[in-house]
Chains A and B, each alone.
Chain A
């Protein structure tokens, strides 16, 4: 293998997206564009109350509407498997758990007729008082057993209270983040058809095999009787990591009307049924000695989940890896409210958690009179600070901070807040750290050498717009010792070798390991003069089980420059810079997109995004992108991502760490810290709205 290895090396080159042409010409088909013959359309009907029960459904007007085929609700819905995910137990109960929940559906020959039928359906409810507003003293708060996916909710070491009491400098502040809704460009959609008792779904999701398994479970079918196909997906950000009710509705309706059925989630429905980031209330306490060395770190989180199921966001877990301190406390408490179930949204946990920690570090730096970069460098650690012994496979937080400082021009910074003016604009800069774990999941893959000298690599991976297909082609090309144009990678189908979802920034690491192993096995066969076509498979379960115990995380540093209009409170972000140490970069072009995409989303979190709960109606009031604000291109001025060369041979055969999420971690804190530097105002509640910067009341 050695000779060809040095010849090719596609890894590290900026290969353009393999399906780029298909996408820009409109040839790439997304879920809703599959058009089976005789297809019907289902439109869900959403609950108009936040808590209670359906008394009756009057479908007479709906059924009289031309084109309407059926109305589905609790009374006529087929029974689904017991114990299924409660968000997917569609129409199994008359209970309403949150406003906007799917409680009925109309199936019709056309989408227009289904929509009209939906409008005409009369549902009578028994309404009960609802409880939808999270607060730090909510009587229903409890400590969950675990936080997502399986971390302890509570961790404690030493004596935080005593250390804080005797600290030379300390901060004790509470930060708040609102609910955020993931809004991928392509809303969720499913086309379902039954063929001889088998269920086929064209679906927009982050992992076909995982969706196949979950959906099979809901319908009590063996997994091999369900096939999920998702070659192209227009974004997910976590919201397509688990099946959503529209997939169940499509399959159920198709079964009932004995025709293929399409369901497209509307943008408005995405604010109810496709998950969101929980609002958080985070009390941060930090204590330091006279030199600025941390003596205590305490991070106490309050967040929400639904009455249907527990989703416990791991908000304080990043605090467990960032800085050394002998006394430590991290806790999570949840309240079960009459709201939709929160779920994964890009860097669940790290993203809101690091807003709090990295803002508090900035406040501590000021309290200690130390430069915020020096404070972070001083408290860096080379072992897991919770157990005090597990080494990091690699960790270059300080390298990122230093490199960023150099590029950003940090050295000339005067720390005094509120003193730099350019006309009516106040100018400031801020910094924050980033981190995200580098996990791997078991996966299977196959590699096949064709008689014509080309190769086909198959893995049940997903490309949700990240460029995963392209990265896997580069990985396969190098592993096979051939050029990328001779490799075709097949993904996005549950019929392919089983692999996990595009989530937790572990897609490429997990699928890539399986691809490399399958390619190695194939090369071994070819070296043995196997006849063509030849094929080999790999399963990485054992390899992953046997990996050494290490703390595996990516790190980064984010820098922001802001300008705040002293009269109007307008905030501009002329410069954002992120520097990351995340192992080997497989494709600099698509990696850069991930970083700056994450940073832009972090900027949205800092300045624009906010889902507002209407306590009276028990519902999020913003339901489209005219009311849920995300940055537009013109809001992003100079944005730059850079990375350090980081070698780490304890990760995976590529030496890579996940990069899909780290870009959003820390951005909001860097911006908030810069706003403080510019204005002297510390905004501890996101978003940093204009009115929060102007005291006009």
Chain B
């Protein structure tokens, strides 16, 4: 049987209080949200925090998806299931629903949070690719106030984020621009599993050219892969299958997968290309409201 090492536990009653506790307890303290990543790590003793600060009572402050005019704001404690069901998100960024339909299973989705997903910083996490594609920004709060960090600066290394000791991720912000379309494509070995590879794409189309584009890949690098070179290739061009094919080619080249039980390197590169192309096609069809 798997049991974690012993730890102290407290339930935060406010965001301020949680941050104060984190600051006071230092590097041995961890926030626990849904616990779907942290508890298995503790049971396997890959993580041995001495203090857990439970933020599950902070739903009023940290669980929401709202339109703030020009931006959609998502509270860090928002559960996968809420992202899946949100009509607001489905309307502006259907990539979230695409991803949530294939993240784990209902048990995990009922509890796991967007904050936990992003802070876990597992390179295979689907939502990290989604947030990269839609150019999300992370709001990080500490005792000295808050700062806003773009996704590129959020994942600093495998399992490491820009959130420092004594800080809490409180919100994800998604900027709204016209002509948006987005999609997530994933291949897994069995339903509900982590990706062998996944691609998230968002495009912003203006008068039949790609005005802007974001592409993130899961599970094919040490962190979420942001395909900047492919974005560069696409920007300012009229969308076409050939163009997406080229972007897929770049994806195969620019990712850096490792061989494991989910597949060898060559196959993962191949898949990164296939999925990038698919995600771009579908995102564009959505932007042009031509989705089949």
Contacts and interface: CB of A to CB of B under 8 A. Distances in A.
Contact of A691 (B1, B2, B192, B264): B264
Interface size grouping (class) on chain B: 20 to 34
A412 interface: no
A74 interface: no
A696 B270 contact: yes
Contacts of A32: 1
B2 A266 contact: yes
A694 B192 contact: no
Most B CB within 10 A of own CB, among A187, A607, A697: A697
A568 interface: yes
Residue of A630, A689, A691 ringed by the most chain B CB atoms within 10 A: A691
Interface string B45-75: 1000000000000000000000000000000
A107 to B, nearest CB: 15
A112 B271 contact: no
B187 A570 contact: yes
Contact of A612 (B261, B270, B274, B275): B261
Interface stretch (A132-140, A166-174, A466-474, A631-639): A631-639
A112 B6 contact: yes
Contacts of A696: 266-267, 269-270
A421 interface: no
B193 interface: yes
A608 interface: yes
Contacts of A621: 261
Interface in A651-697: 689-691, 694, 696-697
B157 interface: no
Contacts of A267: 2
A111 B1 contact: yes
Interface string A593-633: 00000000000000110101000000001100011011111
A570 B264 CA distance: 15
A608 B261 contact: no
A632 B190 contact: yes
A612 B263 CA distance: 12
Interface in B170-203: 187, 189-194, 196
Interface in A253-296: 264, 266-267
B193 A629 contact: yes
Nearest to A264: B1
A694 B270 contact: yes
B91 to A, nearest CB: 26
Q: Is the interface of A mostly helix, strand, loop or mixed?
A: loop
A270 to B, nearest CB: 12
Interface in B254-292: 261, 263-264, 266-267, 269-271, 274-275
A610 B261 contact: yes
A161 interface: no
A632 B191 CA distance: 6
A15 B110 CA distance: 35
A33 to B, nearest CB: 11
A116 interface: yes
A51 interface: no
A656 B1 CA distance: 39
Contacts of B270: 694, 696
B237 to A, nearest CB: 23
A635 B102 CA distance: 12
Contacts of B271: 568, 690
A266 B3 CA distance: 10
B292 to A, nearest CB: 10
Contacts of A448: none
B156 interface: no
B267 A690 contact: yes
Interface string A88-127: 0000000000000000000000011001100100000000
A422 interface: no
B148 interface: no
Contacts of A607: 190
B254 to A, nearest CB: 16
Contacts of A187: 1
Contacts of B5: 112, 116
**Highest count of chain A CB atoms <10 Å: which of B1, B5, B6, B263:** B1
Q: From DSSP, what is the main secondary structure of chain B's interface residues?
A: loop
B191 to A, nearest CB: 3
A635 B191 contact: yes
A651 to B, nearest CB: 38
Nearest to B269: A696
Contact of B190 (A116, A266, A610, A629): A629
Nearest to A631: B190
Nearest to A263: B1
Nearest to B261: A627
Nearest to B265: A697
A270 B45 CA distance: 18
A504 B274 CA distance: 46
Nearest to B43: A266
Given A111-B1, A690-B196, A568 B274 contact: yes
B266 A111 contact: no
B152 to A, nearest CB: 28
A622 B261 contact: yes
Contact of B192 (A119, A266, A632, A697): A632
Contacts of B187: 568, 570, 690
A527 interface: no
B266 A691 contact: yes
Contacts of B192: 632, 634
Nearest to A691: B267
Contact of A629 (B1, B6, B105, B189): B189
Interface centre among B193, B194, B261 (most CB of A within 10 A): B261
B263 A689 contact: yes
Contacts of B45: 119
B256 to A, nearest CB: 16
Most buried by B among A607, A629, A633: A629
A645 interface: no
A567 interface: yes
Contacts of B263: 689-691
Interface centre among A115, A626, A627, A696 (most CB of B within 10 A): A696
Contacts of B189: 608, 629, 690
Contacts of A264: 1
Interface in A555-607: 567-570, 607
B188 to A, nearest CB: 9
Contacts of A569: 267
Nearest to A115: B3
Contacts of A633: 191
Contacts of A630: 190
A612 B262 CA distance: 11
Nearest to B105: A632
Nearest to B266: A697
A66 B32 CA distance: 28
A622 B260 CA distance: 10
Nearest to A113: B6
A119 B45 CA distance: 10
Contacts of A689: 263
Contacts of A111: 1, 3
Given A630-B190, A690-B189, 8 more contacts: A112-B5, A569-B267, A621-B261, A632-B192, A632-B193, A690-B271, A691-B266, A691-B267
23 contacts: A111-B3, A112-B6, A116-B5, A264-B1, A266-B2, A267-B2, A568-B187, A568-B274, A608-B189, A610-B261, A612-B261, A629-B189, A632-B105, A632-B191, A634-B191, A634-B192, A689-B263, A690-B187, A690-B189, A691-B266, A696-B267, A696-B269, A697-B267
Interface of B: 1-3, 5-6, 45, 105, 187, 189-194, 196, 261, 263-264, 266-267, 269-271, 274-275
Interface of A: 32, 111-112, 115-116, 119, 187, 189, 264, 266-267, 567-570, 607-608, 610, 612, 621-622, 626-627, 629-635, 689-691, 694, 696-697
Closest 9 A-B residue pairs measured CB to CB?
A: A634-B191, A691-B267, A696-B270, A264-B1, A697-B266, A567-B274, A635-B191, A632-B191, A691-B263
